[in-house]
A and B are shown apart, each in its own frame.
Chain A
Amino acid sequence: MNPSRGIPKQVEEILTTHRRGFLRSAGLLMVSFATGSGARPANEDAQSSAVASAAGPYPDPDFRQLDSWIVIHENNSATFYVGKTDCGQGTGTSFRQLMADELDIAFERTACIMGSTDNTVDQGGSGGSTAMERDSWPMRRAAAEARRVLLEMGSAHLGVPVDQLTVSQAVITAKGDPSKRVTYGDLVGGKKFHVALTGANVNVVTGIAKVKPVQELKYTGQSPQRYDIPPKVDGSLKWAVDVRLPGMVHARNVKPPFACARLIGIDESSVRSLPGFLKVVSKGNYAAVVCEREEQAIRAARQLKTTWEKPAIAPFPASENLFEYMRAAKPTSSSRPIVEGNPDAAFSGAVKIIEADYEVPFQGHTAISGAHATADPSNGQMTVYSNDMKSYGMRNGIAAFLGMPRDKVRVVWMEGPQGYGRTAADDAGCEAAWIAREIGRPVRIQWMRDEETAWDTKGPAFLVKVRGALDAKGRLLAYEYNARSCDYNHVGYNEPDTVLIAQLMGSRRANPAAGSSAMPSEMYAIPNRRMVGEVVGLPLVWETPLRTGNLRDPNGPQSTFAAESFIDELAAAAKDDPLAFRMKMLTADNSDDSGFRRARSIAVLRAVSEAYGWDSRPSPGPRVKGAILSGRGVAYSFRGQTIVAQIAEVEVNRETGHVWAKRLACAHDCGLIVNPQSLRHAVECAMLHGLSRALHEEVRFDTEKITSVDWVSHPTLRHADAPGRIDVVLVNGDPNPKRSDLPPYGAGEAALKPMLAAIANAIYDATGVRIRRVPFRDDRVLAALKAAGV
């Protein structure tokens, strides 16, 4: 097939132009930034000075002051202070690129400080893939305003009108007289701007200056190396786990051995004689042990004798009965159905009706290391060193939890293991702070592996029922989607009354959060459609390790697994090529938001098809002899305005059931690309996170506790699973001819979304067997192949 059929000429032209421009700038980066680490020392100094600041109080930095965002140093360098954190995608480097461009300073002479509540403005930290899409804008406007102010200062200093000045690399020069020059450092180095910004909130804050058009951005679109990587590979970076304070002691939690258990006795004599033992701290069902040294705390927490009472009823069904339970459960809430056309009439007139159920189990965040924090109660304040991705929210949560004024609490953000949303529902910060206050000394706490894997927040399990009606020509006439999410009592971000220690201590809120389900975006133009999302709850929802929280692209992978698997099933029923079947339901239409995204989808699907070398034919492919069956599958999705299309090529071993994703291809359109290399790597890793969730990840439990508690019982993707080849095409193709600039959209999460379905579709193409239950572990695939006689 020719996937480009149907792309309007205007879309095609814009796409080609942008792609060409992008490739040209990508080529430059290798020359310009080969050494990469120029600003590292400045950055490290700045980050450590953030750690060692004054004794408090800690009022909020004023986002309406230019000085809160940018400091110009006497040596003509600049430090940017941003209210963001980095989860591992290297966003700090991209902020520096954008701000250096707006300020007109060399990238190498800038540094970026992130996420400490007492010296960076509150932009909310990380989450929702908003780093570039939303939060880079106030940074750019602040930098543009600083440039404007500096030009005015330069004008006064040189006695030359502003319009007679040029600025390059932080040096202002008179246009007609190069001897008349002054640097930013000369003008304001070591001093303050004292310039007010305006705007109702941090997202809209602005000065007088306007940001530059995209075409004038110099560093943006190139790929300077990430400044955080050299100290991460030479061992010099100080992480949140590395904080050591004078007089600091170590704590370890003693978790309930069963969900929803009541602590009825602690025998402190069981640990009192252990070396380094200091104290057992406990309130309600929360207990922890404090010792002088870390290994002593680990030992004492294991050895402490405690007595627990089980709840009167089983808190949840065993994992093998979860979907049966979810089918029978009465929903705790239900969304208003989205209805278009007349689905009932369309179904009754259909030539062929296809139905399928899809199941995605609870999947954990399972960061490579457990939750951790260090709290210092000195001077009647509370300083918490944490990798919480929403450090500002953590500050508010801890202040409320402890009943302390906000300005007596600060959170110093430091790097940590990527948590995919876990660190915004952090537990260790409140625990460290509470224990530190109890014992009056700095305390470091870290969760153990079994604790983290069992008790971290979980992405909710999904049961999705889909029906589709085909007409005589194999076109999709009607579509019905019903998703049921096990998400009642979804844990929010840094909430003082849902954080686990508050639950265990009995200071939790009365009413559980409603939770949410998810529906597929309006990716296809389908004339008749009904979609509804429901939420169900487990029998007990407090003090349980089966507590749900936002997991990277919350609910997206689950609903997209169902929706994009089902589209493939319809294509097979219509005996059509899966990519062509999708293309027929895309219309290049700029009249509304969904139409606009579908228009860009055509370009993205075409790009992934070209990158992979897709051969048009219906699935499954021709059956071959031998142990290894090969196939390819496609899936695509929106996340906000970001469009992602992926093709997976798998090898399925029919003797073992093992699935290897031999090759992955992805086309990704997130609008303006700030750092192509960082983006490419983030996309690759998000795809592999999706692959891990497709092949391995599942929370398992009996009727009283989690039984998947480490990397053996809760497997994850490994080196042997890595594909032999990954192609990432950055499409960057905004087809809207009315827009002068491409805005950036989100990119941290979107590339995970379609992967589960792409793998399932590839397995079907290889074997003719449709697997509708995640993950596609060897035993499950083998059983399905055997049942189908493959």
Chain B
Amino acid sequence: MGRITLRVNGSAHAVDVEPETPLLYILRNDLGLQGPRFGCGLGQCGACTVIINGAAVRSCILPASSIKGEITTLEGLSSNGRLHPLQQAWIDEQVPQCGFCQNGQIMTAKAMLDKNPHPTDAEIRETMNATLCRCMTYFRVQAAIKRAAQTMGDIPPSAAKEVVA
């Protein structure tokens, strides 16, 4: 066991774990951040995706001791009670069926839009292609990404729609 300090969603957390422990289990079981989920443990499906230094990464195969940057999880996307425009687009488009994989869909889309605010259809398909959904919501996910891209281009993030409780 060793002490590892992680910066997650704006705060620092120290945990005592084996250094090779994949980040996913620390997020879920020590920090109570359960947006990222175990899908395959192989980095193949994307259900465990988090964003580190702007990149969408698969937390199920990422040793915690190797992480240097700030980690953002699904729970960290909203700010001051405001959903991220992607989350709002997911609601507006009523994207999920079961919803289990949608963490990976949203986080992968977030990393893409942060780098490329106006992706083409082909770029969306290519960037999202390794993020799997067994309910096959792909068509709706792609629609929501386009909607969010439009929203984010139209209005500054601070003016994004408030969460209605």
> Could you list which residues of chain A lie within 8 angstroms of chain B, going by C-beta atoms?
35-38, 40-41, 87-90, 225-226, 228-230, 232-239, 241-242, 244, 275, 293-296, 298, 366-370, 415-418, 446, 448-449, 677-678, 681-682, 684-685, 688-689, 691-692, 710-712, 716-724, 726
* Chain B residue contacts of A417, Cβ below 8 A: 39, 98, 100-101, 134
Beyond A368-B45, A711-B44, A720-B129, list 16 extra A-B contacts (CB 8 Å). Answer: A225-B94, A233-B96, A234-B83, A234-B87, A235-B35, A368-B39, A369-B39, A417-B98, A449-B40, A681-B94, A681-B137, A685-B135, A710-B42, A711-B42, A719-B128, A722-B125
Determine if B91 and A225 form an interchain contact, defined as CB atoms under 8 angstroms apart: yes
Q: How far is the CB of B82 from chain A (nearest CB, A)?
A: 11
Q: A87-B98, A721-B138 are in contact. Are A36 and B91 (CB under 8 A)?
A: yes
In the complex, which of the residues B1, B35, B140 contacts A684, with contact meaning CB atoms closer than 8 Å? B140
28 contacts between A and B (CB under 8 A): A87-B98, A88-B99, A229-B95, A233-B74, A233-B102, A234-B77, A234-B78, A234-B87, A234-B163, A235-B74, A235-B75, A235-B103, A241-B37, A368-B98, A368-B135, A370-B38, A417-B39, A417-B100, A418-B97, A449-B44, A682-B97, A685-B97, A689-B135, A711-B42, A711-B45, A716-B132, A718-B130, A719-B128
B142 within 8 A of A: yes
Q: How far is the CB of B153 from chain A (nearest CB, A)?
A: 20
Determine if A418 and B164 form an interchain contact, defined as CB atoms under 8 angstroms apart: no
Which 6 residue pairs of A and B lie closest in terms of their CB atoms, listed nearest first? A88-B98, A235-B35, A688-B136, A232-B99, A88-B97, A722-B138
Determine if B142 and A418 form an interchain contact, defined as CB atoms under 8 angstroms apart: no
B124 within 8 A of A: yes
Q: How far is the CB of A646 from chain B (nearest CB, A)?
A: 15
Q: Which residue of A lies closest to B93 (CB)?
A: A681
In the complex, which of the residues A89, A226, A691, A719 contacts B131, with contact meaning CB atoms closer than 8 Å? A719
Q: How far is the CB of A454 from chain B (nearest CB, A)?
A: 13
A479 vs B154: C-alpha distance when bound (angstroms): 60
A225 vs B73: C-alpha distance when bound (angstroms): 25
Q: A233-B102, A235-B74, A711-B45 are in contact. Are A717 and B91 (CB under 8 A)?
A: no
A677 vs B134: C-alpha distance when bound (angstroms): 20
In the complex, which of the residues B39, B83, B100, B132 contacts A718, with contact meaning CB atoms closer than 8 Å? B132
In the complex, which of the residues B25, B78, B133 contacts A293, with contact meaning CB atoms closer than 8 Å? B25
In the complex, which of the residues B18, B100, B103, B134 contacts A366, with contact meaning CB atoms closer than 8 Å? B134
* Chain B residue contacts of A367, Cβ below 8 A: 134
- Greatest chain B CB density within 10 A among A226, A368, A449, A710 is at A368
B165 within 8 A of A: yes
Determine if A719 and B124 form an interchain contact, defined as CB atoms under 8 angstroms apart: yes
* Chain A residue contacts of B99, Cβ below 8 A: 88, 228-229, 232-233, 237, 415
Q: How far is the CB of B40 from chain A (nearest CB, A)?
A: 4
* Chain B residue contacts of A415, Cβ below 8 A: 98-100
Q: How far is the CB of B92 from chain A (nearest CB, A)?
A: 9
Within 8 A of A (CB), among B19-39: 21-22, 25, 28-29, 32-35, 37-39
A366 vs B44: C-alpha distance when bound (angstroms): 14
For the complex, would chain A's binding face be called helix, strand, loop or mixed by DSSP majority?
loop
Q: Which residue of A lies closest to B130 (CB)?
A: A718
Q: Which residue of B lies closest to A236 (CB)?
A: B75
Determine if A719 and B91 form an interchain contact, defined as CB atoms under 8 angstroms apart: no
- Greatest chain B CB density within 10 A among A230, A415, A691, A723 is at A230
Determine if B136 and A717 form an interchain contact, defined as CB atoms under 8 angstroms apart: yes
Q: Which residue of B lies closest to A242 (CB)?
A: B34
B106 within 8 A of A: yes
In the complex, which of the residues B90, B126, B139 contacts A688, with contact meaning CB atoms closer than 8 Å? B139
- Greatest chain A CB density within 10 A among B28, B39, B106, B163 is at B39
* Chain B residue contacts of A369, Cβ below 8 A: 37-39, 47, 100
* Chain B residue contacts of A293, Cβ below 8 A: 17, 25, 29
A723 vs B140: C-alpha distance when bound (angstroms): 11
Q: Encode B136-159 as 1/0 by CB contact (under 8 A) with A.
A: 111111100000000000000000
B41 within 8 A of A: yes
* Chain B residue contacts of A418, Cβ below 8 A: 97-98, 100, 134-135
A719 vs B135: C-alpha distance when bound (angstroms): 12
Q: A232-B96, A681-B97 are in contact. Are A295 and B138 (CB under 8 A)?
A: no
Q: How far is the CB of B162 from chain A (nearest CB, A)?
A: 10
Determine if B21 and A295 form an interchain contact, defined as CB atoms under 8 angstroms apart: yes
Q: Which residue of B lies closest to A87 (CB)?
A: B98
A57 vs B64: C-alpha distance when bound (angstroms): 43
In the complex, which of the residues A37, A238, A717, A719 contacts B142, with contact meaning CB atoms closer than 8 Å? A719
Q: A234-B74, A418-B134 are in contact. Are A446 and B44 (CB under 8 A)?
A: no
Determine if B137 and A685 form an interchain contact, defined as CB atoms under 8 angstroms apart: yes
A678 vs B163: C-alpha distance when bound (angstroms): 22
Determine if A718 and B138 form an interchain contact, defined as CB atoms under 8 angstroms apart: yes
Determine if B136 and A681 form an interchain contact, defined as CB atoms under 8 angstroms apart: no
Q: How far is the CB of A599 from chain B (nearest CB, A)?
A: 31
A78 vs B135: C-alpha distance when bound (angstroms): 31
Q: How far is the CB of A528 from chain B (nearest CB, A)?
A: 40
* Chain B residue contacts of A88, Cβ below 8 A: 96-99, 135
Q: How far is the CB of B65 from chain A (nearest CB, A)?
A: 13
* Chain A residue contacts of B45, Cβ below 8 A: 368, 711
Determine if B25 and A294 form an interchain contact, defined as CB atoms under 8 angstroms apart: yes
Within 8 A of A (CB), among B33-78: 33-35, 37-42, 44-45, 47, 73-75, 77-78
Determine if A722 and B142 form an interchain contact, defined as CB atoms under 8 angstroms apart: yes
* Chain B residue contacts of A241, Cβ below 8 A: 34, 37-38
- Greatest chain B CB density within 10 A among A38, A298, A718 is at A718
- Greatest chain B CB density within 10 A among A37, A689, A712, A722 is at A722
